[in-house]
Amino acid sequence: MDSASGAGGSIPIGGGGGEASSSQPGGSGSAEGGSASSSAPPSRYESQKRRDWNTFLQYLKNHKPPLSLSRCSGAHVIEFLKYLDQFGKTKVHITGCPYFGHPNPPAPCACPLKQAWGSLDALIGRLRAAYEENDGRPESNPFGAKAVRIYLREVREGQAKARGIPYEKKKRKRPSTDAAGEGGSRSRSGGGGDETGGGGSVGAPAISTV
Ligand SMILES: [Zn+2]
């Protein structure tokens, strides 16, 4: 627990390293100092999107072997999502757990914490938009890859079973890129609240929340 939240913004990928001093997103002047936006702060969605995007770029940077954005595929995106699970706060029961399928288990268990499906879904929506805003071509957008959609669906179905929470309220349709973000995290459950901490945030690892 010594170095966990210590110095600054680098993502602890691969168990350390990467003391990049300039990795603080939005910290160093360049970003949002713009002209018009000083009075009206960026929307929550916008700032979350920027943070997510920085997290992802940081992830690519620390990736072994190194990955450039242009070579990033849906498979890499899925890898990224799995990587984020270690920072998750949502209990997902394994099939052998007595509370498998219980939305409100009466006692703790040892099942792993993961990212809630709704968080991942919203995250992908934001990253997908961010990719194109950063000059990525829509047709090569790895966040829109079919494999990613399939993966998310599997996560949703798996978590619905494991947590006893049906996500059926949301009809399976894909809104446009922009809407996918916010819509995703809101529409579900209404019961829990534990997983998103009230923001649809993925609780991205080392991005400081100042
Ligand atoms: Zn369990």
What local confidence, expressed as pLDDT, does residue 169 receive? 56
Give 81-123 pLDDT, tens digit per residue. 999 999 999 999 999 999 999 999 999 999 999 999 999 999 9
Rounded-to-10 torsion of CA 192, 194, 197, 199: -30
| 106 Cα to the center of ligand 1, angstroms | 11
| 103 Cα to the center of ligand 1, angstroms | 11
Task: Give the environment of ion ligand 1: residues with CB less than 5 A.
Answer: 93, 97, 99, 109, 111
DSSP 112: P
| 180 Cα to the center of ligand 1, angstroms | 30
The Cα–Cα gap between 46 and 72 comes to: 23
Residue 14: band (very low, low, confident or very high) from pLDDT cuts 50, 70, 90: very low
DSSP 114: E
Q: What pTM value is reported for the model?
A: 0.64
* Spatial CB neighbours of 63, under 8 Å, sequence gap ≥ 6: 13, 76
